[in-house]
């Protein structure tokens, strides 16, 4: 698995309930750009449109070596490939529970296909975000103290 991009902000802003791997419909020049890791998932989200799932706001940069007359929109909506049963299941959970779908990462799998990892998530409140920051700081300090303890021996 070759990681292309991660959405670290999504892990901070949302509480992940369920993860899912899906395919994505891309153009040839976009795949070439992804091979060079020219992708940003920071402000991206997924939404249902006419019973199909699309990802919005995912930025894939234009590659300069491709044909200049064929320049796709860098932030266009891209269709996600999922089984109908999985689409129906997530559509039901989103409409009833008020959840959202956010992309966590994009990568090439073992068969060299581009895959997008989605998360069914619930938004965190401000106090939850503060707890996440405190936990991260405490973990960092604990690792540093263990590292320094090993040097003193």
119-124: average pLDDT: 86
pLDDT at res. 4: 92
**Reported confidence tier of residue 152, pLDDT bands at 50, 70, 90:** low
Instruction: Name the CA radius of gyration of the chain, rounded.
Output: 19
Instruction: Please check the confidence at residue 53 and state whether its pLDDT lies above 90.
Output: yes
Residue 108: the pLDDT is 93
Distances (CA, A) of 55 to 64, 83, 145, 152: 24, 16, 42, 51
Task: Reduce the secondary structure of the chain to three states and give it as a string.
Answer: CEEEEECHHHHHHEEEEEEEEEEECCCHHHHHHHHCCCEECCCCEEEEECCEEEEECCEECCCCCCCCCCCCCCCCCEEEECCHHHHHHHHHHHHHHCCEEEEEEEEECCCCCEEEEEEEEEECCHHHHHHHHHHHHHHHHHHHHHHHHHHHC
pTM of the complete model:
0.76
Q: How confident is the model at residue 153 (pLDDT cuts 50, 70, 90)?
A: low
pLDDT at 144: 87
């Amino acid at each position: 698995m070759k990681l292309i991009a991660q959405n670290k902000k999504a892990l901070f802003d949302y509480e992940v309930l369920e993860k899912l791997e899906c395919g994505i419909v891309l153009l040839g020049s976009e795949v070439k750009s992804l091979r060079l890791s020219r992708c940003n998932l920071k402000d991206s989200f997924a939404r249902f449109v006419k019973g199909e799932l699309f990802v919005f706001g995912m930025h894939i940069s234009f590659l300069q070596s491709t044909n200049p007359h064929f320049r796709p929109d860098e932030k266009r909506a891209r269709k996600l490939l999922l089984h109908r049963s999985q689409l129906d299941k997530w559509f039901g959970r989103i409409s009833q529970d008020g959840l959202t779908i956010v992309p966590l990462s994009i990568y090439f799998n073992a068969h060299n296909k581009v895959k997008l990892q989605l998360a069914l998530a619930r938004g965190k409140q401000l106090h939850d975000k503060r707890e996440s920051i405190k936990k991260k700081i405490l973990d960092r300090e604990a690792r540093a103290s263990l590292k320094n303890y090993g040097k003193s021996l």
